[in-house]
Structures are given as structure tokens and as C-alpha cells.
Chains A and B, each alone.
Chain A
Amino acid sequence: MAKLEYDELVQLLQDGTIGFLRFMLESDNAESYLEWCGLHGIEPSEESAEFYYDETEIDMMERQLIDDEDYGISN
């Protein structure tokens, strides 16, 4: 299956077409998530994927703000 684009994944997740586990495994963060599961001694699951998503996921608009190094205050 072709890799889905990030915004497509977000849409599918919001629609309820896919769950958090599928989202994480299809996203660019799949490797980090699987590593996190391994380090926590747990198998990938809907529950852990949702927790990982909530702890790490940043929406695209916010990410754009963050990426713009001229936006905000850097001391």
C-alpha cells in the first residue's frame, strides 16, 4: 500500500477511518513510536499509540509557527 501523506492520515484519523495505531505506524514518527514501545517493554497498541500521539503530536499549523525561527522570542 502506498504511503499516505500526513494530512491524509490526519483526515482519516479524524474521520475515524483509522485508529491511532495505524496513524502512528503510517506516520513519519513510526520509528520513534516503535522505539518508545520497545524501551517501555510494551507491544504497539491502540492505547499506547494514542498516548504517544497526545504526548508528541503537534498540529501542522502550530508546527509552521514553531519552524519559523523569526516568529516568537528567542533569548
Chain B
Amino acid sequence: MAASRKKEPGQLSVMDQFDRMKEKHPDALLLFRTGNTYETYRQDAKKSSEILGIPVTSRTLDNGSNIKVASFPHEALDTYLPRLVRAGMRVAICEHLEDPRQKKKEQEAKHGETTSQQPINKESDMPRKKREKTPQEEPVKTTKSAVDETTPKEKKSESQSATQGETAERKPREPQMVTVNGDKVTHGHAYQSKTNPEDWYFTAKINGEQLKPQKMDPADLAAYKEKELTVPQLMERYYPTKLMPRVPDVAYQVANVLPGPEGNLTIDKFNVYKETDETRADYGKYKFYAQVGDKKMSTTASREDLNAYFDRVATPGQLVERNFGDRLHLQSHYEQFRLPEGIDPKGIRVAKDKEDGKWKVSADLGEGRGRTSRQELSFDDGYSLFKTKTATREQIAAKYLTEEISTKLAAPLSMEKSASMKM
């Protein structure tokens, strides 16, 4: 048996090689080809047995110690390998690499089986879409030329894919783009999900760090396949905040100050958390928390703002302004709202509804188009309008009615109405 096979002087046994490989790739399940079977050892044998339902046996080594071994016929690789991968295992197959001296001896002895092993990368059952176009990678055990030029971060990232990186020589790549921050984008590509084959994802590396894949819009995928969309364009679409200029480090190191309605407001605390109260409608969603003076506030965060925070392309002050500006009655918050063109500010009405006693806003859309619906004001917006006077009627109308106004202005006047007007 392979694991107990006598080794030549200076030659590593299978178990020596297993231990050496395991030390380098602790997260990989190592499959060793021995003759007509694939074998897994020790902890890998136990995992393989659980996943594949194959038996685990004990084997006594030359030194008298026992190891666990699980094996299956090499013909079963196509069946078992996908199952291991589907179970979340990172699999590396270690094939024979003939030791010239041993090979010579074996040839002389006319043995068909080789004994010395060196892992080569045949990591998984991935479809090899372009395999036939690319030359087979040499089983060279070096990553020096690529790794030596990387930063510590890049080295760490490479180590996460070590079973591949170890055996496939990687050449330094020309970046597909360089961001305004000087970050290098490489490895931008689209790939198909294994679990949901109808889904495709776009991903890339920045400075060697793998970005979390983003599900692609089918139209983008089609355009990318036709080379109508480039990697920089897809980066812009799927990782916009990675490309934006980062704010100065100091913005996150010192308390930000915002001009409030009655003087400056200091942001004492700002962070992000996930709502854990199952009784709340926003359970499981990410929220921003801010402490400004004696006000402690939280609100559900948009994906855009979460990304802006993660990538530090917006200051805490800007994020507070966007997300809590109404509660703090910030003039700067309301300045972002502008009425669509064609709306006369004189046609804006903010009035208390006689039926329910609530303050509501509506706007006149112009001749022949009538008025918008009446939208109820929040307490904070009403306070900003009437009390602190940091919001104008136009801004309030724009905040509540822009979508409706735009839709109605874009729609053609009905023929019926036009005809009746002519009569």
C-alpha cells in the first residue's frame, strides 16, 4: 500500500508528503493518487468518509503508527470530486511525479506504478471553458516571481488560494485599471454560479485582495460577452465606491462637526450594526447609529451608504447629514432637495388636513395636469419647516413629491382631456 510503501533513501514517503502538504494547505482536502485509487489520510479521511459515505480503514505505517485512510477507485473521481466541492471542501489532488531515479528503477523492473509523488494542481471539477485553448500548467512548485512583487496584503490573499497558487506559476499582471486612489485592479472577470447556474457574478482583485463577487445584470453579462462592456466599466457599475476618491484618514479619526440650526453639532459616535430585534420590521438589516450631543439615533442604511462607509469615500459627517439630517434639522440636509423644472413654487401648499389634523404637502402641476397627491410630513420635517426654519416649502415639496411630479410631468396629457378642453 502506498502509505506504507518502503521509501528509497532521501525519498519522501507519501505520508511525509501528505504532512508537508497539509502544513502548507491546512484548509485543503488532499487526495493522493496511488495506483488505481485515490486515498485520503488522517483528518481528510474522516471528512471524505462523512461526505462520500466511504469506509475509513486503519493502516500501519513502517514506524508502527496507525493512520486513518479512506480510498475510492480512480474512476469514481468524476463522481466524488464534485460532491466534495459541493460540500464546501477545497480539494487538491496530488498526482505522481516520477522521481527520475525511482522511475528508472521501476522501468527496469517493468513496474507500471510510480512511487514518488508531488502534488500538481487539479483542484476541482470546474468546467474548463477555455482549457483546450490554454497550455497545461507546468507542475512547477514556485510562486516566487509573482509573490515577491506583492505587498503583505497581496501575499495573504494569495495564500487563501494557496493550493492553486502553490502549483501554478503566476506571473505579475498588468492592472486592468488603476483607481484614483492608486489601487490596482486585476483579475476582473465574470463567472457562472455553480449553485445557481442562471446567475453570473462579476469580481476582481484590488491590490491583490479578492473583492466579494457581485451578481451581474443579464444585460451587462451579454454586453460583456460581446466585449461591449469593459472591466473598468463593470467596476464602475458593481464596485463604484472602490473607484471613488477616499476621504482623508483624519475624517474618521476625529469627531466631525456639522453646522446645526442653533450652532455646531459634534458627532460623538457613528457606526454600523445589524438589527437583532426580531420583532422589528428592519430585523437583519444594517443600520447606522449616530450619537450627536444628547441625541442617539439609528436608521436603516442604504447599500450605497454602507459601501461608502466601508470604503471611506464619505465622511461620518456626510453620512450623518444624509441619514439623520432631518432629525437634526440641518439646513444642509434639505439643500439636496430641488423641485423638478416647470413647477411653480407658488403652487405648493403645506396645510393641515381637516379630516385627520395632519400636516400635508401638495403641488400644482400646471395647467391641465391638476395637483399632486397630499403627502403627510414627518414630525422632523414639520419642525424644520416651521420651528427651526432650516427647510423651505420648496425643499419639503421636493422631498416628498419629486417622484410623483416627474412621473406625471412625463406622462402625456390625456386625449380625452385635451379634446374636452377644445370643445
Contact = CB atoms under 8 A, between A and B. Distances in A.
A34 B199 CA distance: 33
A60 interface: yes
B156 A51 contact: no
Interface residues of B, number: 56
Nearest to B91: A64
A15 interface: no
Interface string A27-64: 01101100000011110000110110011111111111
Interface string B296-338: 0000000000100110100000000000000000000000000
Contacts of B201: 62
Contact of A41 (B191, B253, B274, B286): B253
A75 interface: yes
Contact of B191 (A42, A51, A56, A65): A65
Nearest to B250: A41
B272 A51 contact: yes
Nearest to B271: A42
A64 B124 contact: yes
Contacts of B190: 72-74
A17 to B, nearest CB: 17
Q: Sort A-B residue pairs by CB-CB distance and give the 6 closest, nearest first.
A: A72-B191, A74-B189, A47-B273, A67-B161, A6-B27, A41-B252
Interface in B10-38: 26-27
A28 B310 contact: no
A18 interface: no
Given A51-B306, A67-B123, A73-B191, 5 more contacts: A7-B27, A31-B152, A47-B271, A50-B274, A63-B161
A60 B189 CA distance: 18
Interface in A2-28: 5-7, 10, 28
21 contacts: A7-B27, A31-B152, A31-B153, A31-B156, A47-B271, A51-B310, A55-B212, A55-B306, A57-B212, A61-B85, A63-B90, A65-B193, A65-B194, A66-B210, A67-B123, A70-B128, A70-B129, A71-B128, A74-B189, A75-B189, A75-B230
Contacts of A51: 272-274, 286, 306, 310
B164 interface: yes
B252 A68 contact: no
Interface of B: 26-27, 85-86, 88-90, 123-124, 126-131, 134, 152-153, 156, 159-161, 164, 187-195, 201, 203, 209-210, 212-213, 224-225, 227, 230-231, 249, 252-254, 271-274, 286, 306, 309-310, 312
B260 to A, nearest CB: 22
A13 B89 CA distance: 17
A60 B191 contact: no
Contacts of B209: 32
A64 B117 CA distance: 23
B310 A60 contact: no
A40 B252 contact: yes
A31 B212 CA distance: 18
B128 A75 contact: no
A55 B214 CA distance: 11
Contacts of A7: 27, 88-90
B422 to A, nearest CB: 57
B213 A39 contact: no
Contacts of B134: 70
Contacts of A60: 27, 88-90
Contacts of B193: 62, 65
A42 B310 CA distance: 12
Contacts of B194: 61-62, 65
B75 to A, nearest CB: 23
Contact of A66 (B27, B191, B272): B191
A74 B188 contact: yes
